[in-house]
Amino acid sequence: MDLQQIRYFLETVAAGSLSRAAVRLGISQPALSRQIGNLEASLQQNLFYRHGRGVSLTDAGRRFEEVARDVVRRLADVRTELATGAIDDTGSVTLGMPPSLSASMGADLALRFAAEFPRARLRLREAFSAVLLEWTEAARVDIAVLYDARSSPSLVATPLLLEDLFMVEPPAARAATEPVQLQELASRACILPGPENGLRRVVDAACAAEGVRPRVLTEVDCVAALKQLVERGVGPTVLPFGAVHREVRDGRLRVRPFRSASMRALLVLATPANKPFTPLTRAVMRIVQDEVARLVPLDVLRGVTRNLEGARPRPRSEREVPEPIG
């Protein structure tokens, strides 16, 4: 069975006779009869009753007609989708996000996707950047939000947000309200993620540039646990504002900005280089970009969303240093 035979079959059904169908198809009647006979042989069923007025469908023919029309319709839809970039709204996309970002926008993103594509499926997977990078390179996710990743033979990276990092403390831990010098990370026992974490790499690189060695009390690769330890007064940590915006709003934590312009992390949208980039994947990327752009003015996220190609942290004047919160 092939698509041409299906086409010939459907044209014969529409014409009601082999002779009229042959004229419409521009082939001889014996050639059409041979193709229909080959189709019936492959199905091991008679599809037509032959009679003096033409042909009519058998029960098997009526069943095959239902399936054949659905196949042709689906193929036409795919052809249109590929030609116009239309979205297959019955597909699925897997999106990987770091905990610091999923906490602030994961729920809204999932709801927006469900509203726009009710027949499609979005799977959100949360992990730290090191794990997300492995998943992306292995094509286990369709899209991932990564810290400070670069395009490579295995992935394509698109800048998303140049995100400010903050010292996170209990609300009454210190009276100081001025921006943080990196040296303070060396003088206080801090709770930080492990060295393979994307945020930790940004912190280590900024400190190394100024000859500072952070004093690390313990390493915790769990944002929820980091925040709980800070709340209990164990020590400060470093996180983007989005990871703690609810606790800051509720007065459970406070944040102070860093003076160093290097204490910014570039978030990128990464896709596997060896996996097809579908219109639905592109739509999810658009939704992520829109949500980030929406949350920055609302002070849920803090950072820069525009002109990020080749973005690198730049020195900030005193007037550009954000006011401390809490």
pLDDT of residue 155: 84
8 A C-beta contact, residue 142 and residue 275:
yes
Which pair of tokens denotes residue 213? 């060695």
pLDDT of residue 78: 64
8 A C-beta contact, residue 297 and residue 193:
no
- Whether the per-residue pLDDT at 223 is higher than 80: the answer is yes
Regarding beta strands 92-97 and 121-126, do their DSSP bridges make them parallel or antiparallel, or are they unpaired? parallel
Is pLDDT larger for residue 149 or for residue 226? 226
The long-range contacts involving 182-187, CB below 8 angstroms and separated by at least 24 positions, are 182/206, 182/207, 182/210, 182/212, 182/258, 182/259, 182/260, 182/263, 183/210, 183/212, 185/212, 185/214, 185/215, 185/238, 186/212, 186/213, 186/214, 186/215, 187/215
Q: What is the DSSP string of 28-74?
A: -HHHHHHHHHHHHHHHTS--EEEETTEEEE-HHHHHHHHHHHHHHHH
- Whether the per-residue pLDDT at 252 is higher than 60: the answer is yes
Q: How far apart are CA 141 and CA 96, in angstroms?
A: 6
Is pLDDT larger for residue 97 or for residue 308? 97
Is pLDDT larger for residue 173 or for residue 223? 223
Which pair of tokens denotes residue 93? 């996309």
Just give the CATH number of 93-320.
Answer: 3.40.190.290
pLDDT of residue 85: 56
* Confidence band of 154 (pLDDT split at 50, 70, 90): confident
pLDDT of residue 318: 33
Q: Where in the chain is the domain with CATH 1.10.10.10?
A: 3-84
Q: Where in the chain is the domain with CATH 3.40.190.290?
A: 93-320
Computed on alpha carbons and rounded to an integer, the radius of gyration of the chain in Å comes to 30
Regarding beta strands 143-147 and 254-257, do their DSSP bridges make them parallel or antiparallel, or are they unpaired? unpaired
DSSP secondary structure letter of residue 200? H
Q: Using one digit for the tens of pLDDT, what is the confidence trace for 182-206? A: 999 999 999 999 988 888 889 999 9
Is pLDDT larger for residue 80 or for residue 108? 108
Residue in 187, 166, 202, 199 with CA at minimum distance from that of residue 323? 166
Per-residue burial over 264-291, b if 16 or more Cβ lie within 10 Å, else e, is bbbbbbbbbbebeebebbebbbebbeeb
Q: Which residues contact 178 (CB under 8 A, 6 or more apart)?
A: 256, 324
Q: How far apart are CA 140 and CA 121, in angstroms?
A: 16
CATH 3.20.20.110 fits 3-84, yes or no: no
Q: How far apart are CA 65 and CA 43, in angstroms?
A: 13
Residue in 186, 189, 192, 196 with CA at minimum distance from that of residue 219? 192
Percent of the chain exceeding pLDDT 70 equals 87
Which pair of tokens denotes residue 126? 């949360």
Instruction: Measure CA 241 to chain center.
Output: 21
DSSP secondary structure letter of residue 152? B
pLDDT of residue 77: 59
8 A C-beta contact, residue 131 and residue 240:
no
pLDDT of residue 316: 35
pLDDT of residue 108: 93
